[in-house]
Structure 1
């Protein structure tokens, strides 16, 4: 399995964990509106993460095959999904906290950054252990 595939699996796993924690918090804590906003934003963020990973994989395959087809990374689709989540939050203000939705939308980018940091720390520790 390639490094890209391992990264995709790790990031999706962390997003599932994040969503599971949010669902539990929404069910058991009194700030339901905030957690529902986080769930909405994080769900859209998970879709955006999946779309970005899928499009990146497809682009890598076309470049490796030497094809000259022009394809994007789905930026417009990801922006549209984020705007849709904000519109839903504004339409149903009694159920979704707007700032929580916005934070949820950026949650996949936070998870990607943390994944890179943790992965680099693990790689550095493995290389240090091998040198001894």
Structure 2
């Protein structure tokens, strides 16, 4: 299995590629709000994944040191998701709500694809 930091590095590379595609879609299609929503959602989704990686490191350290375990930051990630949706709701002329929610899920789709590719390579 891949290290969580390696997975996050791959996520960042995929995010930059996705943001470039969103910038092209925003600039050259008739759906700029959809591509802007995907970009905002993907940024917040990657931020949520970064929070998860950071909290998992703290969790692993506390388990290995025998200390009491800490929270994995679910409330912070939930709040971040609410913030991205709030941006899309308050600025509908710039961001499409449904595409923002889809963008929030893109890092997890990238994670799923990465696991599949990793398991195929290891076979």
Q: Same fold (TM over 0.5)?
A: yes
Q: Which residue of 2 aligns with 1:116?
A: 115
CA deviation profile, 1:17-63 (whole Å, cap 9, x unmatched):
22222223222222111001111111111110111111111111221
Structure 2 equivalent of residue 55 of structure 1: 55
- Given that 1:15 and 1:111 are in contact with CA atoms closer than 8 Å, whether structure 2 keeps it comes out as no
Structure whose CA Rg is larger: 1
- Aligned counterparts of 1:4 and 1:88: Cα–Cα separation in 2: 29
Moved more, 24-33 or 70-79: 24-33
Residue 77 (structure 2) aligns with: 78
Q: After superposition, what is the alpha-carbon deviation per residue over 1:3-24, rounded to whole angstroms, capped at 9, x for unaligned?
A: 3332232222222222222223
Counterparts in 2 of 1:113 and 1:86: CA distance versus 1, 3 Å: same
For residues 120 and 79 of structure 1, what CA distance do their matches in structure 2 show?
Answer: 30
Q: CA RMSD in A?
A: 1.5
Report how many aligned residue pairs link the two structures.
Answer: 122
Distance 1:5 1:89 in 2: 30
Consecutive unaligned residues in structure 1, runs of 5 or more: 125-132
The aligned residue for residue 46 of structure 2 is: 46
Please give the secondary structure, in 1, of the residue aligned with 2:72.
coil
Structure 2: which 5+ residue stretches go unaligned? none
Q: Is the 8 A contact 1:33 1:94 kept in 2?
A: yes
Answer with 43-52 or 7-16: which moved more: 7-16
In the TM superposition, structure 1's runs of 4+ consecutive aligned residues that sit over 4 Å from their partners are: none
